[in-house]
């Protein structure tokens, strides 16, 4: 299958993937760490991780007869970070802006990568003439994708628990093909973090509790995306102006000096999401929310989740000009939005009183 592996990698490059490596379908070495992490409750409310953990530690339960796993990287960002700032408001003045994680400032990567990944899987099945169909996943399958990617040589897992490529930095999407074809595996990658701990120091909530271990319950990305209910009050100030995800640990990584924009994502950028005005977002009704975020990852968090985050951001960076909008939001029929709007009003009023 040596020739097929080479042909597959060539086809992956033609389709726009920035790297393609192969590993076996053997049990990942991180299986024990996953069990301990789940036992400690570090997954928070992400119950699906516990429900399908048995599959994540045994690829044969994902695809019986699997022999190989193809791992792929798609680079998605090389532009600078966005810090707290203001944008022009509808009234002609300025308003505080919010930050959205880089990966979400594009059309949904699941949709962008799916068709090309489907094409690559069909190419593999035809070339290898496998008896059972191969399966492809874009960040959705029950696989320990970072462990597999490291074993395939795609990159190494950093102390922030994300995959780092020495060629692409850590601004990469991962996807996989699990197949019955017996493909020649690539050499694994070794860790190259050394003594660096910039990502740990950069985390605003201390969610990286030790090197290579993340407590999701403290992570801003979890709090603003995966958590469905109320954000713990003690963590709200650390969220700052972030309204969807957090890039701080990723931005701190020195391997990003090799980061570049991949061809697959280049045409999917949403410039309007680079620095969105918080008051404009808070004014969105359900139709407006769906129209603005159609085809982006933010749509899955729903209006209630995103506007909850907007209220928290305004509570952290807003001024008295935000109070009328927040008072209106405090009357929103969605209790989650109303609760966080009340909190934001209190925070701004405290700052204004201290200033006076």
Instruction: Just list the catalytic residues.
Output: 139
Longest Cα–Cα distance of the chain, Å, equals 75
Strand ranges across the sheet with 172-179: 19-24, 68-75, 172-179, 135-137
Spatial separation of the C-alpha atoms in residues 105 and 93, rounded to whole Å? 25
Name the percent of the chain in helix, strand, coil, to the closest 5: 45, 15, 40
CB-based burial, 225-246: b 16+ in 10 Å, e otherwise: bbbeeebeeebbebbbbbbbbb
Structure tokens at 106: 């594009």
E strand residue ranges, 12-134: 19-24, 68-75, 86-88, 94-96, 99-100
Spatial separation of the C-alpha atoms in residues 323 and 311, rounded to whole Å? 11
DSSP-derived 3-state class of residue 288: helix
DSSP-derived 3-state class of residue 274: coil
- Tokens 């159609």: give the residue: 294
Q: What is the DSSP letter of 91?
A: T
Parallel/antiparallel/unpaired status of strands 242-244 and 99-100: parallel
Best CA proximity match to 323, nearest among 342, 308, 338, 306:
342
Q: What is the DSSP letter of 269?
A: B
The number of helices, as runs of H, and strands, as runs of E, in the chain is 16, 12
């Amino acid at each position: 299958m040596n020739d097929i592996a080479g042909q597959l990698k060539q086809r992956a490059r033609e389709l726009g993937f920035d790297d393609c490596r192969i590993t076996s379908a053997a049990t990942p070495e991180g299986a024990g760490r996953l069990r301990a992490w789940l036992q400690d409750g570090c997954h928070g409310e992400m119950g699906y991780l516990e429900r399908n953990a048995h599959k994540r530690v045994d690829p044969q339960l994902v695809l019986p007869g699997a022999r190989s796993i193809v791992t792929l990287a798609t680079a998605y960002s090389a532009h600078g970070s966005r810090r707290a700032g203001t944008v022009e408001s509808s009234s002609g003045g300025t308003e505080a802006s919010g930050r959205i994680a880089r990966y979400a400032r594009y059309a949904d990567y699941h949709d962008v990568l799916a068709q090309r990944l489907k094409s690559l899987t069909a190419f593999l099945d035809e070339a290898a003439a496998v008896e059972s169909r191969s399966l492809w996943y874009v960040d959705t399958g029950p696989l320990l994708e970072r462990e597999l990617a490291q074993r395939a040589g795609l990159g190494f897992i950093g102390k922030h628990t994300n995959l780092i490529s020495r060629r692409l930095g850590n601004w990469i999407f991962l996807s996989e093909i699990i197949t019955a074809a017996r493909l020649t595996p690539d050499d694994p990658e070794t860790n190259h973090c050394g003594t660096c701990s910039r990502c740990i120091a950069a985390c605003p909530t201390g969610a990286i509790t030790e090197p290579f271990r993340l407590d999701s319950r403290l992570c801003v990305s979890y709090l603003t995306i995966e958590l469905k209910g109320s954000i713990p009050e003690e963590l709200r100030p650390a969220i700052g102006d972030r309204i969807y995800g957090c890039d701080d640990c990723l931005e701190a990584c020195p391997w990003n000096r090799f980061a570049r924009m991949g061809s697959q994502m280049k045409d999917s950028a949403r410039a309007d999401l680079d620095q969105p005005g918080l008051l404009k977002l808070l004014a969105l009704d359900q139709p407006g929310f769906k129209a603005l975020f159609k085809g982006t990852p933010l749509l899955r968090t729903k209006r209630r989740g995103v506007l909850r985050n907007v209220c928290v951001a305004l509570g952290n960076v807003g001024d008295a000009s935000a109070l009328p909008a927040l008072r209106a939001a405090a009357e929103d029929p969605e209790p989650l939005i109303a609760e966080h709007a009340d909190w934001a009003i209190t925070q701004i009023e405290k700052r204004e009183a201290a200033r006076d």
